[in-house]
């Protein structure tokens, strides 16, 4: 509860007192083309695509996670690229009601309820909720079959030719991930050790 209160206090530092959603209907992420995926393998990582802008980002899991429990926590791993996408492209999603599709059924429930028993997942989830508050983004999650997310799946598995074949219009280079986000991800595991 203290961590939840800290998140709200942090939001209040940025809040200007105005909340408005210009879009009444939920915007499906097929329209936005926001897709994310993670691989449960230390040699691989995660990826996110904002197709309307032809932008993409990916990261490899930190080598120091090799012998840690975190690399087996698929719920956490699947949440990482979602939070990464909101961190990178939150401004482009501002004021929207977004339906996010994920191939992890448990994560659908977590994203919709905004709660979970894992401290590690909750720390990341609070980051996502804070981004949603700051950018006035409402988020609703639904399940998607993994086969329908070829672009993001190929990024998380570092299958570059498959990625280019499925998304030839993508920018030549990935969007840079802010160092502050990468540090926050590494810090989460250090705190849970």
The residue ranges of every structural domain in the chain are 28-192
Report pTM: 0.85
- Sheet containing 138-143: give its strands across: 27-28, 97-102, 138-143
* Cβ proximity of 141 and 98 under 8 Å: no
> Tokens in use for 145?
């079959």
Give the pLDDT confidence of 85-123 residue by residue, as tens digits. Answer: 999 999 988 888 888 888 899 999 999 999 999 999 999
> Tokens in use for 132?
């949603």
The conformation of residue 11, written as its DSSP 8-state character, comes to H
Q: Compute the average pLDDT of residues 121-142.
A: 89
- For residues 122 and 117, what is the distance between their CA atoms, to the nearest angstrom? 7
Give the pLDDT confidence of 47-77 residue by residue, as tens digits. Answer: 999 877 899 999 999 988 888 889 999 999 9
Does domain 28-192 fall under CATH 3.30.750.24? My reply is no
User: For the chain, what percent of residues have pLDDT higher than 90?
Assistant: 48
């Amino acid at each position: 509860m203290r961590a939840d209160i800290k998140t709200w206090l942090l939001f209040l530092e940025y809040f200007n007192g105005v909340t408005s959603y210009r879009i009444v209907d939920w915007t499906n992420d097929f329209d936005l083309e926001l897709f994310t995926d993670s691989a449960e393998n230390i040699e691989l990582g995660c990826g996110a695509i904002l197709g309307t802008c032809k932008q993409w980002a990916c990261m490899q899991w930190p080598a120091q996670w090799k012998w840690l429990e975190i690399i087996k926590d698929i719920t956490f791993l699947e949440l990482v690229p979602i939070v990464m996408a909101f961190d990178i492209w939150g401004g482009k999603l501002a004021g929207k009601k977004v339906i996010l599709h994920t191939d992890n059924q448990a994560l659908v429930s977590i994203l919709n309820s905004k709660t979970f028993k894992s401290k590690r997942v909750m720390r990341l989830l609070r980051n996502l909720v804070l981004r949603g508050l700051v950018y006035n983004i409402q988020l609703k999650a639904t399940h998607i079959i993994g086969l329908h997310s070829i672009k993001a799946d190929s990024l998380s598995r570092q299958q570059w030719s498959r990625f280019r074949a499925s998304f030839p219009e993508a920018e030549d280079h990935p969007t840079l991930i802010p160092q502050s986000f990468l540090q926050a991800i590494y810090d989460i595991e250090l705190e849970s050790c």
